Amino acid sequence: MPNIIHLVLAHMDGLPDGNDGLGLFIVPKFLVNADGSLGSRNDVKAVSVEHKLGIHGSPTCVMVYGEQGGATGYLVGEAGKGLRCMFTMMNNARISVGLQGVALAERSYQRALAYARDRIQGFKLGDKSGKRVSIIEHADVRRMLLTMKTTTEASRALAYYAGSMIDRMRNEKDPAQAQLAAARVDLLTPLVKAWSTDLALETASLGIQVHGGMGFIEETGAAQYYRDARILPIYEGTNGIQSNDLVFRKVLRDNGAEARRFEDEMRAFLKNFAGKPSDDLDVIAAALDKAIGALAETTNWMISNAKSNTDAIAASAVPYLRIFSTVAGGYMLARMAYAAHEALLTDGANADYYNAKLMTARFFAEALLPQIYGLMTPVMGGHKTVMQISNEQF
């Protein structure tokens, strides 16, 4: 590679301390002459490779700038607007990291599923024949596998939905519609990044659990997914930062307008379920409708307490994002369930595939979506103890 550029956030002389004093700079490995040819080596170098937990194929380096008199950098955008420029890249990267989480979760699920089908251990409950069975026959293994499958499908669909909003934002001819799509992208970005990566870590952990003791043996490959997934909730702003972004910059900034618009979209979609002769759709619709109401209640609490209890809002941000994401994931699965139900009316050849979509959506509605009600209490309780305990009492 003839040249390498580093994008560096740095404080600028004469500007205030903090974020308002940052500039974004291009710092090249080699300076570029006026004719475009490469010139002398810039005063920047990598001094060590960081040793990481997992992700050995993606090394990062400790960089040193200006040891020999000063590195040359070129300002990108306006002085003092460096963080805003960086966020242009970071928001795109956040969606990409969310998709990376989906990919790791999917691979972990595939590995665990293959192992569960092959591993012969124990007897099926209630079977007196004495026949030993694959562990996929055991109820708890099935619960773990179905959790892995369902949450991965939900997080993938949410990431794709956010991607469709990005396409609409960029290609919509009507400026008003493009603006609405941009607002939806802003709302969904922290959900996709944080929820997908949290689920990736949880799914990889379940993958090890399905393997049992073999999950700790490197030859199975299950442990690698866990190590690789662990960095994702840290990448591109920790998931705590994503939660604060959702609450303070997305929900509170417009007094919940875009969040309510998304809730209205979900409610409007559920009207499609009316009159459909399907027990699965009835269960899914009832659970999602109740969950949307719970999300709205929690959002209203956050808005009502934003000025009077800011610390409580910040301490509640992570479980609030989990509530929002889980409801959004339920909406994605409900859309897939509805499409599967309609497809079954005309496509009998793929009935197993469509019925699986119905079953995963129903499992999410019955087993995973209700988890939000346990999160509402700590959110609206304000996590008061978080700020009341003194530093010395930790």
Query: Which amino acids are annotated catalytic?
Result: 236
Could you tell me which residues come within 8 angstroms of residue 77 by beta carbon, excluding any fewer than 6 positions away? 23, 24, 84, 85
Asked if residues 179 and 128 have their Cβ atoms less than 8 Å apart, the reply is no
Please name the residue ranges forming H helices in the chain. Answer: 82-118, 139-171, 175-211, 222-230, 239-244, 257-270, 279-304, 310-315, 317-344, 351-363, 371-381, 384-388
Residue appearing with tokens 């475009």: 36
**Amino acid found at 95:** I
Give Cα separations from 210 to 75, 116, 217, 331, 343 (angstroms). 51, 7, 13, 28, 33
Q: What is the 3-state secondary structure (H, E, C) of 77-105?
A: CCCCCHHHHHHHHHHHHHHHHHHHHHHHH
Reduce the DSSP state of residue 71 to 3 states and report it.
coil
